[in-house]
Amino acid sequence: MSLEVKRLRLKVREFENAKDQQPQQQQQQIQQDQQSQQDQQDQQIQEDHQEQDWQRPLQHHNHHDLDRPSNASPEQPKIARTSSPSASPNGVRFCSVFYGITSLPFFLRRLNDFVRAERHRLPHIDFDLALGKRGPFGRNIPSKDVILPRDLETCFLDVFWQTYYFGYPIISERDLRSRFKLLWEETGSVSLRKPSPLLDIILALCTQLGSSVIQPPTLSSNQGSPNSTIDNIGQLSNNEVIEAPLPGLQYYRRCEEALDQVVEHPSLETIQCYVFSIVYLLQAGFFNRAQVVTGKAIMMAMMIGLPSELPSSEPEPVKELARRTWWSLYILDAELAVAASRPPIISSLRTTCPLPSDSEEMARWFSPHYLYEAGCATWLGYQTQKLRLLDIVTNIVNLLRAKYNSLVGQGGYEDFITNAAAREQCACLMTERMKDLIEWTKQVPASYIVARRDNGQPFSADRSQIDFSPNVLIHCQRQRLLLELSYHHYSISLCQPFVSLRTNPDVPTPASSTMAAAALNHSMTLTSMVHQALTSSELLNGASNVFRWQKNALFTMLGYQYTFPICGLSASVRRSIETAIAVIDMHRGTQPEAAAVSAIARALNDDIASIVPGFGFDLDFPHNVVPEDDMLGSDKLEGLWAGLDQGWGAFADIGVNQGGTL
């Protein structure tokens, strides 16, 4: 697919040149009566949530039998539901924008404070650069005249069905192709098409995708001396704003202008356009703008009644389009909320919209060109699996937020760090709730599981080799990869608050340490999978969200190394960090902040290496991190852990599945 995209990019470049166009402990023990009081408070919180019916939409649908008729009343999954509270005061702000405790901006602010207070060897590092501070949206707007000719639009439209469509199947392929042909024929021209907001936003996405194809370098390119790294940091800190070109912006703007004209009378197609507009903004890195547009889209969806089932008089395919459009909005709203650790919008709404169907009959109606084979479920099921995953993740985030806010005072995260008992309570809650996520992995159909070599286990931390079989359909392999990577990414975010950047060996915190180890496990596994996929296949080429996931995993591993600079797998962790930096470097040509992320990570990694000689082996650290066989010999591991097994055996397996992952 990337070869075709590269050819398209070359043609687009030639076409544009012809028109001259540029485009962030307390050590006292809590008395028994205080603990009992806290337990009662926790129980009351949960009961209150249930009594007030603060339930999220998917509780009204069966997660385990998605084909059950909508009038059935099956037993619901036993997952504690919570409200969607208002934004917690215990977060951080970047340029007045709030981010909560499970977000990457929150973690980077903590890392920034730690480096400034403890690591004076390092120069000033502007961690905001790692977030990709964007300039004003659309400052450099391409001319509206730079609209591609028919042959290029046709090629880009073909790319859409291979990429974005299976994640957001909210239109009929047959209908869109027919409209595309008609709009060109109405003008009688090969260089000018009649505007269509739906076609325009789809072409904006495909043009954007064409600019995101990466060139994988070798791992040997991921080298840099401490001096050169520090120099790079100093230079990068002078650049305050990233102003990158926005491929496809001319199409996005044309769609946006058309949508502004139908605010008073929106239709299903209006909401579909907004769905793809949100995806475009997400891929471009404008998360806050994307969340604002999501709110607007949800309001319009409510105006036309999408949260409810359409009248029975409507044809089933039309009702299915409406269902998938609504649930696509739910997915995007949840993804944005989890990324920023802010409350989602839809979660507080009641909906009677049924879950979509994954039947082969419906799949063939949506897109007859997709191939089908026995080993692959219908491509429509990917969206349903993602929907179930996000429902569990958002519920866990809400539970953690409520628990965290009930325990910490005005000191916020500082109280969380210094109060070991409070941190352990949160960790114990998470240990229990993460079982819901593990249960989800057990219910993923076999046809959505990434194949491994040598009996490797999916959704685990064994970091086994992926089997990129040429006999499996491309879109099927891509769906499998993205689904498992999503699981690891969300697990990292959920466990990340426990990577505290501080330890106190006098006050054991086994549950917190186990959660920190889980964050490391998932980070190393995600890194291994992404690197394999980018160097051995083209399945993830152009997927901007993979870069963001890798960035989150990279800084989590660096934070873990600062927290536990000596651990049994330090060599393996450092190797994973090097691999993660290599993945970031692969995106230098497509992600504006990649160079800054790489330079910052190298500086931190070199600094961590300088810490190690000053520490002994008496630190509070977990040993349930799954080793990589080729990184550390088993004889070394046995000697290292022989004196520690007795002390840690009581908790090492808490909440850990067979693969060693929380």
Q: What's the pLDDT score for residue 411?
A: 77
Q: How far apart are the C-alpha atoms of 66 and 74, rounded to whole Å?
A: 11
Strand ranges inside 28-149, DSSP E:
92-94, 97-99
Q: Which of 523, 485, 516, 521 is nearest to 502 (CA)?
A: 516
Q: Range with the lowest mean pLDDT among 131-135, 298-302, 433-437, 639-643?
A: 639-643
Q: Which of 627, 552, 640, 632 is nearest to 597 (CA)?
A: 552
Give the type of residue at 356.
Answer: P
Q: What's the pLDDT score for residue 92?
A: 79
| Phi, psi values for residue 91, rounded to 5° | -145, -160
- Which of residues 57 and 339 earns the better pLDDT score? 339
Q: How far apart are the C-alpha atoms of 530 and 111, rounded to whole Å?
A: 24
Contact 442, 607 (CB under 8 A): no
Q: How big is the CA angle at 329 (ends 389 and 183), to the nearest 5 degrees? A: 130
| Residues 252-288: b if buried by 16+ CB within 10 A, e if exposed | bbbbbebbeeeeeebebbbbbbbbbbbbbbbbbbbbb
Q: How far apart are the first and last CA of the chain?
A: 35
**Mean pLDDT, residues 368-394:** 82
Q: Is the pLDDT of residue 647 over 60?
A: no
Alpha helices by DSSP H, 119-196: 150-162, 173-187
Instruction: List pLDDT tens digits, range 521-561.
Output: 999 999 999 999 999 998 888 788 899 999 999 999 999 99
User: Where do we find the tokens 């997400």?
Assistant: 282
Half-sphere exposure of 67 (CA within 13 A, CB side): 7
Q: What's the pLDDT score for residue 243?
A: 56
Contact 377, 445 (CB under 8 A): yes
Q: How far apart are the C-alpha atoms of 593 and 134, rounded to whole Å?
A: 9
**Mean pLDDT, residues 28-53:** 46
Q: Is the pLDDT of residue 147 over 90?
A: no
| Phi, psi values for residue 621, rounded to 5° | -145, 150
| Phi, psi values for residue 487, rounded to 5° | -60, -45
- Which of residues 262 and 351 earns the better pLDDT score? 262
Q: How far apart are the C-alpha atoms of 167 and 386, rounded to whole Å?
A: 9
Q: What is the pTM of this model?
A: 0.81
**Mean pLDDT, residues 329-344:** 94
Secondary structure tally for the chain: helices H, strands E: 22, 2
Q: What's the pLDDT score for residue 456?
A: 87
* Domain assignments of the chain as residue spans, ordered by start: 2-23+139-229+244-331, 49-65+77-137+373-648
DSSP, collapsed to helix, strand or coil, labels residue 26 as strand
**Mean pLDDT, residues 203-214:** 85
Alpha helices by DSSP H, 285-355: 287-303, 316-340
Q: Which of 347, 266, 255 is nearest to 300 (CA)?
A: 266
| Phi, psi values for residue 135, rounded to 5° | -75, -175
Instruction: List pLDDT tens digits, range 416-457.
Output: 888 899 999 999 999 999 999 999 999 999 889 998 988 888
- Which of residues 144 and 119 earns the better pLDDT score? 119
Tell me the two tokens of residue 347: 């979660």
From its phi and psi, is residue 72 left (phi > 0), alpha (psi between -120 and 50) or beta?
Answer: beta
Contact 356, 380 (CB under 8 A): yes
User: Where do we find the tokens 């999978």?
Assistant: 529
Give me Rg for the CA atoms of the chain. 25
Q: What's the pLDDT score for residue 512?
A: 94
| Phi, psi values for residue 468, rounded to 5° | -85, 80
| Structure confidence at residue 271 as a pLDDT band (50, 70, 90) | very high
Q: How far apart are the C-alpha atoms of 397 and 392, rounded to whole Å?
A: 9
**Mean pLDDT, residues 124-137:** 73
Q: Which of 430, 439, 433 is nearest to 512 (CA)?
A: 430
Q: Is the pLDDT of residue 304 over 90?
A: yes
Q: How far apart are the C-alpha atoms of 112 and 120, rounded to whole Å?
A: 12
Q: Is the pLDDT of residue 74 over 50?
A: no
The distance between the two most distant Cα atoms of the chain, rounded to a whole number of Å, is 82
Under DSSP, the state recorded for 315 is: -
Q: How far apart are the C-alpha atoms of 550 and 68, rounded to whole Å?
A: 37
Q: Which residues, at least 6 apart from 438, have a Cβ–Cβ distance to it below 8 Å?
A: 655, 657, 662
Tell me the sheet residues that pair with 97: 94
Q: How far apart are the C-alpha atoms of 271 and 255, rounded to whole Å?
A: 12
- Which of residues 433 and 474 earns the better pLDDT score? 433
Q: Is the pLDDT of residue 251 over 60?
A: yes
Q: What's the pLDDT score for residue 223?
A: 42
Q: What's the pLDDT score for residue 361?
A: 81
Burial of 633 (0-12, 13-18, 19+ CB in 10 A): exposed
Tell me the two tokens of residue 564: 């536990």
Q: What's the pLDDT score for residue 505?
A: 72
How many CB atoms sit inside 10 A of residue 48's CB? 12
| Structure confidence at residue 231 as a pLDDT band (50, 70, 90) | low
DSSP, collapsed to helix, strand or coil, labels residue 100 as coil
Q: What's the pLDDT score for residue 80?
A: 38
Q: How far apart are the C-alpha atoms of 571 and 562, rounded to whole Å?
A: 14
